[in-house]
């Protein structure tokens, strides 16, 4: 059962473009939404995270937009670079069930030079 639905599965963007990855959830008990970046052969690394009391969080070229009423959140990568090519996972943590964390299926981003 996929509690966090992520799209698209793969994404190709030209260098300098904007990469947008979307996630949706159903469980209203989720209260913390991180994004992870994974390079081949490595473990996922925490990139940026947001809580539902804000609608947007920006760190450098990475921005999370959060829509609580729609139960959706997205990652925007501005000025995408070839070095951003990786797999990105959204996740959501429940404030019940002892802080269980669930992940989306991942988006494979390729940024072309």
Partner 1 sequence: NAGVMQNPRHLVRRRGQEARLRCSPMKGHSHVYWYRQLPEEGLKFMVYLQKENIIDESGMPKERFSAEFPKEGPSILRIQQVVRGDSAAYFCASSPWDGTEAFFGQGTRLTVV
* Binding residues for partner 1 (CB under 8 A): 1, 6, 32, 34, 36, 42-46, 49, 87, 89, 91, 93, 97-106, 108
CB of 16 to partner 1, least distance (A): 27
Output 62 or 89, the one with its CB closest to partner 1.
Answer: 89
* String of DSSP letters for 16-83: TS-EEEEEEE--TTEEEEEEEEE-TTS--EEEEEE-TT-SEEEETTEEEEEETTTTEEEEEETT--GG
Q: What is the CA radius of gyration of the chain?
A: 14
Output 43 or 69, the one with its CB closest to partner 1.
Answer: 43
Output 76 or 93, the one with its CB closest to partner 1.
Answer: 93
């Amino acid at each position: 059962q996929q509690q966090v639905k992520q799209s698209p599965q793969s994404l190709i963007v030209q260098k300098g473009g904007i990469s947008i990855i979307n996630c949706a959830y159903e469980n209203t008990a989720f209260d913390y939404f991180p994004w992870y970046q994974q390079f081949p052969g490595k473990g996922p690394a925490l990139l940026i995270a947001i809580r539902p009391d804000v609608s947007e969080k920006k760190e450098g070229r990475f921005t999370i937009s959060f829509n609580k009423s729609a139960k959706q959140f997205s990652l925007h990568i501005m000025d995408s670079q070839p070095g951003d090519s990786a797999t990105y996972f959204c996740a959501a943590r429940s404030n019940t069930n002892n802080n269980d964390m669930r992940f989306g299926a991942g988006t494979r981003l390729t940024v072309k030079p």
